[in-house]
Amino acid sequence: MTCESDKICRAEYALRAFRKEVRMLKLYDLTIEYKTEPIGLDEMQPRFSWKLKSDRNDTWQSAYRITVSTGEVIWDTGRVENSQSVLIEYMGEVLEARTVYTWNVTVWDNHGESAFASAVFETGLLTGTAFEGNARWITHGFLKDDTVSPVFIRRFTAPAVPVRARLYATALGLYEAEVNGVKVDDTYFAPGWTSYHKRLQYQTYSVENLREGENELRFTLGKGWYAGALGFTPTPNHYGDTTALLSMLILTYADGTEQVIGTDDDCTVSTGPIRFSELYDGETQDWTLPETLIGKATVFEHGLESLTAQENEPVRCLVRLPVSREFTAPNGDHLFDFAQNLTGWTEVKITGRPGQKLVLRHAESLDENGNFYTGNLSFAKATDTYILNGEEQILRPHFTFHGFRYVCLNGLEEGQQIELTACHLASDLKAAGSFTCSDERVNRLQQNIVWGQRDNYLDVPTDCPQRSERLGWTGDATAYTPTAVFHQNIMPFMRKWLRDLAADQNPETGMAQVVPDVLSDGATGGQNGSAYWGDAATVVPWTLYETYGDKRVLAEQYDSMKIWTEYVRRQCGENGLWQTGFQYGDWLGLDAEMNGLGDERKGATDDYFVANACYLRTLQIMADSAAVLGLKEDEILYRELREKVLAAFRREYVTLTGRLVSETQTAMTLALYFDLVEEQFKEDIAARLEQNIAAHKTHLTTGFIGTPYLCLALSDNGKHAVAGKLLLQEENPGWLYEVKMGATTVWERWNSILPDGSFNPANMNSLNHYAYGAIGSWLYTRLSGLRRLEPGYRKFAVAPGFIKGITRAELSYESVYGTIETAWKCENGKITVDLTVPVGTTALLTLPEKDETLEIGSGSYHYEYETTTRLEQDRYTMETLLRVMLQHPAAQPIIRQYMPDMLDNPMIQYVMEEPISSLLAYAAEAKPLYEMILKVMNESGI
Ligand code: BGC
């Protein structure tokens, strides 16, 4: 192949990289603390980031200059000869509250080009005490068991239309604010869920619809997470039994004067249409009742110290779905199917009869008979009720959400029109990554993973959105966060959650099971401090650091990470190991003993094998984090401690010949992936893991702990093909089993729905749990092959990992430096690889079937070359039944020659209907022979 003038030869096998010769440097995506032009920012030393695009290859920033001004320049870095473009800390004068700052950035690149861009940010109150003298906490005086949502109203006169109006508000409970009859913005579930006793967010809104003269501010409150019922067996008032409101509207007029309208006893309290509202149970609205004035609001004593500006991105309606199918179920129920399991609520458009009652119940699924199934909602009623006023109405709930795909409607009259829309609600995080490949089933799985993430990222990372639970389960976050970082920029979301995690930590128990912690006051408080669940304290900050290159998150969390680590250390016995106390173990692993004696939810792997494996990983993270933060003493301490614990672990759980005590799939996975065994044993362990999988007819048995790492461990230890087979396994258990069964999200259990369509009878059975979605991480890092080499992807590797059955894969990921794109294809005798490397980053590209690794700078590259590899699925595989092989004419002569006794063995009849792979459990050494026979069978064309 020859090089043409517009193409670059990158290597001797004539790979071609195309580029356009347009000289241009572009600055884009200016953010401050990960947010685009935020208002209400309370970071005193916020950090600036930007991205660069260039049409020239091998571009990096050589210098930058930032200025910050409020009209006059208050900070000017001057020209800084530095390639840093991410998280540059503000070092200027102290920022002032409620001030708009403009920041300008100029950059220069290594080719002599430069670019300029500008953005603004506005500070918030900077401290909760800013409310002092301006506004007071107010409440309604309703009876404690009154379920009506109070409406606080404040009317005021504005002398003119203000040039700027900002509303600062928060509540004990949930609130929605309206100005002159219009909702103040498009966000929901303010003030969000935090560890309320210690941290309460306030929100800042830009108010646009004020008028000269009379205006009205109106706040409706719900109990929400503050006073509503929460937990497995829901109990109310986890934080308090009285909902309350605090807000101030600050109006700035053209002449610079300000008017402050704060909550106080000048506000009135009315009842509105919301008669009942609970997160789990739903909402009841009665639109026939007139709004009734109850009286003046009363001042409520509550502090201001815990107030903090909104940290997370707010919850919005991200997707609106029309009804996909309206039908009558076999039992007569009137059902609507939105064709997607989601978190949110149903919006109703109807013109009713005055007093007509509509009841909407929500569920994730139909049962095996096609009827509405609510058996997995536990105590949640998930029911919204509307009593209509006779006009055309568009209705939706306010302080509840449901996990649902189906709605069961009652109360519609003969011939009456109704329009239902499913509104998907979640924290509105910036999208980051996408993945598609040649297999539509895997693409559906990928969509299910993404839906599951958004469905469980409603202000806190929850286990599930539908049953009476919906809690910030820490173990689920440990399992899933490394996958989550690929889909969305989760930093604002997780940073908030980690602050709550730290706030709720108790050195005595190490870590809560759920954050915010609403279980420690209940019956399950004694289960705090379980391995893996507690490891969220270390794994999540470390994952964020690696993904975004953000040291501040590590510094902020370091004490919390240490509290957890030191807690575990104190649990260890004289042998240096953690072998006491409650453990969740390999939660929901399928190798549990099913004899009715144990907890069927716990996999077979020894609990303390798991606990110590997790402890070792946490020690590794601690040592690495201390190194990043320059904490030399801690680094040495944790490295040495890890060595000691590792030695103790090997004494206890690894035999002299490298066999593991409790040698399950999960144990072998952890041993390999967490690097717990000596190098020399890894090959054998990987081989035994393969055998174990084969003995289960190419199925996994892993639970919460093993599943996220199983395929990663296989791929990294020479068994990538086995990982590929697990991925593509369609029979229960496996990721594609769910897809085959019509799942639109990821299930809690491998067998949440049984092959006959009936539900697993266990009461803990959600169809929307993200833990097993952790396979996403394998899709992106081992199949597409994108891996971080330096924090923030400043340097990354791309090494496509072909598997049989998938002929192409495309991935796009928005790193903090810009978009990384990589795509590979192996079709029709040709391999192609495309790669886009952002400005300022370097990629190490290992092309399939080439030994050399290319180091490449920014730009877009295309490679193509010939191959004899066929990735299309073969007709005959190790999953083919033995009977089929034995009867195949091309196989018979080989069997006769190499395994002459096989056909005469009387035992053969017992395994005839088994896949060939399962025979490996009896004679692993026969594998090459089976593979050779299969090759001949496939080549025979018969
Ligand atoms: C949750 C899980 C959680 C577990 C603790 C369940 O009820 O749904 O996802 O991690 O409890 O074992």
* pLDDT higher than threshold 70 for residue 12: no
* pLDDT higher than threshold 60 for residue 5: no
List the beta bridge partners of residue 812: 434, 821
Instruction: Give, for ligand 1, the residue of 473, 610, 767 to mutate: max count of ligand atoms closer than 8 Å to Cβ.
Output: 473
Parallel, antiparallel, or unpaired for β 460-461 and 859-866? unpaired
Per-residue model confidence (pLDDT) at position 553:
97
Other CB atoms within 10 Å distance of the CB of residue 55: 16
Per-residue model confidence (pLDDT) at position 13:
38
The residue contributing the CA closest to ligand 1 atom 2 is 463
The phi and psi torsions of 264 (rounded to 5 degrees) equal -165, -170
User: Helix 665-673 crosses helix 679-695 at what angle (to 10 degrees)?
Assistant: 150
Question: Which pLDDT band holds residue 661 (cuts at 50, 70, 90)?
Answer: very high
How far apart CA 935 and CA 942 sit, in angstroms, is 12
Atom number, ligand 1, closest to the C-alpha of residue 764: 7
Per-residue model confidence (pLDDT) at position 480:
98
How far apart CA 500 and CA 708 sit, in angstroms, is 25
Q: What angle do CA 546, 547, 550 make, to 5 degrees?
A: 70
Question: Which pLDDT band holds residue 191 (cuts at 50, 70, 90)?
Answer: very high
Q: What is the mean pLDDT of residues 78-102?
A: 97
What does the pLDDT look like over 461-514, one tens digit per residue? 999 999 999 999 999 999 999 999 999 999 999 999 999 999 999 998 899 999
* pLDDT higher than threshold 90 for residue 22: no
The residue contributing the CA closest to ligand 1 atom 8 is 463
How far apart CA 737 and CA 750 sit, in angstroms, is 8
CA of 98 relative to ligand 1 center, distance in Å: 42
**Beta carbons within 8 Å of 21's beta carbon, 6+ residues apart:** 55, 56
Distances (CA, A) of 484 to 42, 454, 822, 856: 26, 10, 19, 27
Rounded to the nearest angstrom, the gap between the alpha carbon of residue 498 and the centroid of all alpha carbons in its chain is 14
Instruction: Look up residue 11 and give its two tokens.
Output: 């290597």
Report, in this order, helix, strand and coil percent for the chain, each rounded to 5.
Answer: 25, 30, 45
* pLDDT higher than threshold 90 for residue 420: yes
CA of 194 relative to ligand 1 center, distance in Å: 20
CA of 345 relative to ligand 1 center, distance in Å: 24
Pocket lining for ligand 1, CB < 6 angstroms: 463-464, 469, 473, 475-476, 584, 587, 764, 769
The active-site residue out of 364, 469, 546, 690 is 469
Rounded to the nearest angstrom, the gap between the alpha carbon of residue 676 and the centroid of all alpha carbons in its chain is 27
CA of 621 relative to ligand 1 center, distance in Å: 24
How far apart CA 364 and CA 752 sit, in angstroms, is 12
Helix, coil or strand: residue 834: strand
The residue contributing the CA closest to ligand 1 atom 12 is 584
Element (H, E) at 647: helix 632-653
How far apart CA 547 and CA 90 sit, in angstroms, is 22
Could you give the count of Cα atoms lying within 13 Å of 415 in the half-sphere of its Cβ? 1
The active-site residue out of 33, 176, 635, 748 is 748
CA of 190 relative to ligand 1 center, distance in Å: 26
The residue contributing the CA closest to ligand 1 atom 11 is 473
CA of 596 relative to ligand 1 center, distance in Å: 20
**Share of residues in the chain with pLDDT > 90 (%):** 87
Per-residue model confidence (pLDDT) at position 903:
76
Instruction: Give, for ligand 1, the residue of 230, 377, 460, 476 to mutate: max count of ligand atoms closer than 8 Å to Cβ.
Output: 476
For the chain, give the longest Cα–Cα distance.
Answer: 101
How far apart CA 818 and CA 840 sit, in angstroms, is 9
What is this structure's pTM? 0.95
Q: What is the mean pLDDT of residues 695-706?
A: 95
Question: Which pLDDT band holds residue 2 (cuts at 50, 70, 90)?
Answer: very low
Question: Which pLDDT band holds residue 524 (cuts at 50, 70, 90)?
Answer: low
**Beta carbons within 8 Å of 436's beta carbon, 6+ residues apart:** 443, 446, 809, 810
CA of 654 relative to ligand 1 center, distance in Å: 30
Instruction: Look up residue 483 and give its two tokens.
Output: 């996958």
How far apart CA 666 and CA 676 sit, in angstroms, is 13
The residue contributing the CA closest to ligand 1 atom 1 is 463
Query: Among residues 763, 706, 754, which one has the least CA distance to residue 731?
Result: 754
Query: Among residues 619, 615, 621, 625, which one has the least CA distance to residue 638?
Result: 619
Question: Which pLDDT band holds residue 595 (cuts at 50, 70, 90)?
Answer: low
The residue contributing the CA closest to ligand 1 atom 7 is 764
Q: Is 748 a catalytic residue?
A: yes
Q: Is 810 a catalytic residue?
A: no
Query: Among residues 337, 410, 321, which one has the least CA distance to residue 370?
Result: 337
